Each structure stands twice: as C-alpha cells, then as structure tokens.
Amino acid sequence: MEKIVSLAKTRGFVFPGSDIYGGLANSWDYGPLGVELKNNIKQTWWKMFVQERLDMVGIDAALIMNPKVWEASGHVATFSDPLVECKTCHERYRADQIDLGAPCVKCGNKGTFTDPASFNLMMKTWLGPKEDASAVAYFRPETAQAMFVDFPNVITSSRKRVPFGMAQIGKAFRNEITPGNFIFRTREFEQMEIEYFVHPSDWEKFFEEWLANMYKFMDRVGIDAARSHNLEVAKDELAHYSKRTVDIEFDYPFGRKELYGLAYRTDFDLSTHAKYSGSNIVYTDPMTNEKYVPHVIEPSFGVDRTLLAVLLSAYDEETVASEEGEGDTRVVLRFKKEIAPIKIAILPLSKKEELSNVARPIAEALAKYWRVDYDETQSIGKRYRRQDEIGTPYCVTVDFESLEDKAVTIRDRDTMKQERVPIAELEVWFKKQF
C-alpha cells in the first residue's frame, strides 16, 4: 500500500488535499494522471452500461435536494453510525469497529470510552441567509434517491418500458467518523450507480444478470478477479430497504473490504416517495394495462474504490535485462489499454531540433485520437521507465534514422518488444491496437 501511495503522489495520480497547508484529514486531489484514469474508468462504465444498452438512460441530478427526500428515504432517522470518544485524548471511533475493552489506539489509556451515541453521517448545510431549522439542507449521501424521485419525469420523457434502468455518476458526501486507507473511505467521494426497474416477479433473474454484469465491468477495467469475492449479506445485517444484498469484496493490502454492492430494494423507494410526496408513482404496462410499482435492482460502484483496485491490480515489479535498466527492478502499471491515462508517449532520442521537428508533428497528429505525452528529457532508458510506471502502453521513439527512412520505433510496455513502423502508417497501426 505504501508503494502505491508513494507512486500515486510522485507520478501525479493522487495528491493529499490542501497539501501546502498541511492537508485536510482524508482529503485527496486527483492529479494530471489521476484525473485521466478516473475519467477513463467513468467513460468505460458509461459506455458499457448506458451507451451500449437500449434499456438504459442517464441523468445528472443536483447535489442538494429538498430535505423531505432524506426524511422519506429514512436517512434523517437511520443513516448513522455508533460513535464513541476517548475521555482522555478525545479521539473518536466507530464503536462497531474497535474493541471497547482495549486501550485507546491514540493515547493507550484503557477503559476511557464514552457510551456509544448515534452519529448521523449526512453533511448538513443551510440554504439562504439564515442558519436556522427552516433553512437546513443536506449534501446528498448517495446518488440513488434522485433517480427514484425523477422516475415519473424519466418515464414520461424517455417513454421507456419496464424493465429499464437509470444511471448516474456523481459526487456524494458522508461525514465518516473514521475515514482512511488512502482513497478507500473518504468524506467526499464519487459514485457510479444504476437503478434498474423490473416487474416484481422478475427480480431474481435480473439480480443474477446484474451480478454477472458487474464482474464483466471489473474485467474490462482490469480488476484482478482472483482478489474479488462475493459476500452474501446476512438478513439481520441488511439495510432497511433491502431484501437481498451481495457485496463484491476485494483483497486490499489492509484486508478484504467492500468494493461494490448489489441490492434488491423491492418497491421500498418508489412507494415511500409516493407516500411522502403525494405523487402517483405507479407504472402502467402499455401492452397488458397491468398497474404496479416497479421493484428495483441496484448495482452500486464507487469511482474512487474502483481506481484504487485498478491501481493495485495493475501494479507489477520485475527484473529487466541490462539493455533496459542494467538489471534493475522495473515498476510497471499494467493498465488495460482502454483506461490507461496516457496511451502513447512520443520520445525523440535527443533534444536536437531536427528530431523535434519530426516528433512534435507526430504527437500533435496522434493527440487528435488518443491522450499523448511528449518527453525529451534524460536518457531514453529512463524515459521508458517513467512511462512504464504510469502505465503507458506504447512508446514511440524518433531517432536519427527516422530522418532517413521516415519510420519510428514503437515499444510495447508489457513485452518491451520493439517494432519499426513508417510514420505515415502510425495512425492506422494504433487504431488496430486501441
């Protein structure tokens, strides 16, 4: 884990938030490579689950909703964790994640914890100039509720028929008591969620289909299947809205923890919002005229946890031949090509102007189709190493022979094999690879 955190900072994937001011507890910024990787993950998800399916639509809802939404959903009353505080050093912990009979981790004193108290995880704010009860609002703790609230508008405007789904990618906020483990648990995070609406009698079939779809996505972005496991959540541990939940867990360096969740939410959400809002949220089947409240299958994906699992799955170390590093350890991020932050690196052999005059037009031409890096500093071997560490699939070297034969050398990240390709054929060559 320390290697991943160090690489993430030095290579520009993830930085500590507010770093020059000493940071902010568990706040992280995505750097130049991190934002590319994050966007590629989200774009792959959107393409797979929305663009490539005829039964899906997308929305992008507001971060702050009418507070009545969270009263109806149960978040105001039940969205909480048990909180205890050390009476000596005042460090706070989740009561269900520590041994209350053991010494405080921070100060070492024993038997000093307060009694557990309920701590609501929603981040509170105020709308308008007055900070009183009438102006209270919340930053959304999940993206799901907007899709339920927007169900009538989406049905009317899109004319979709059940079964169909809604997808959304967006930020959510939870005032976690004990965030940590890098970007695994943060107070500000991003979700990729689907609410798939089905006939009540069909939920089991679609539940299994979506579980398989989640593993297909994991394969597509390069998450190691050998480190992934299904956990059937026990009935007495299910959320109040769920009749069945399967968590997909991942073997992180800090233990086996939840990566994704798949829940059968029944008709709880639509029926509850219909009751609280007074709206008619009943679906009429246009073929049979049957009227019913659709049930919901919810596949939920965390963007940040996906990125962390991808980094951990892609990270590799190997000893290389002397011509490329003199027997040193080569660190490689073996990203799938579809999600690699940089697809192609253009590397003129030296800074000489005659090579730059060839290399830069190549970079500009390829950048119309793929994310390209241009690097002319240090030896070619060290530049190869840098590109390996950030997971670039291909390096293109422009050498002095290129001035004569109008060709370049393409190096493959994984095999380190090199191939000579005419400059005029580069676009076609790379389109075959991507």
Write out the residue limits of the CATH 3.30.930.10 domain(s) in the chain: 2-79+121-311
Write out the residue limits of the CATH 3.40.50.800 domain(s) in the chain: 342-433
pLDDT in tens, 142-179: 999 999 999 999 999 999 999 999 999 999 999 887 77
Mean pLDDT of the chain: 93
pTM: 0.90
Kindly report the CATH number that applies to the domain delimited by 2-79+121-311.
3.30.930.10
pLDDT in tens, 80-138: 778 888 888 888 888 888 888 889 988 888 878 898 887 778 888 899 888 888 888 99
Mean pLDDT lowest among 48-57, 83-92, 146-155, 410-419: 83-92
Compute CA distances 20 → 7, 8, 13, whole Å: 19, 17, 17
Decide if 249 contacts 225 (C-beta within 8 A): no
Select from 1.10.10.10, 3.40.50.920, 1.10.10.60, 3.40.50.800 the CATH code of 342-433: 3.40.50.800
What amino acid occupies position 103? P
pLDDT in tens, 272-331: 999 999 999 999 999 999 999 999 999 999 999 999 999 999 999 998 765 554 568 899
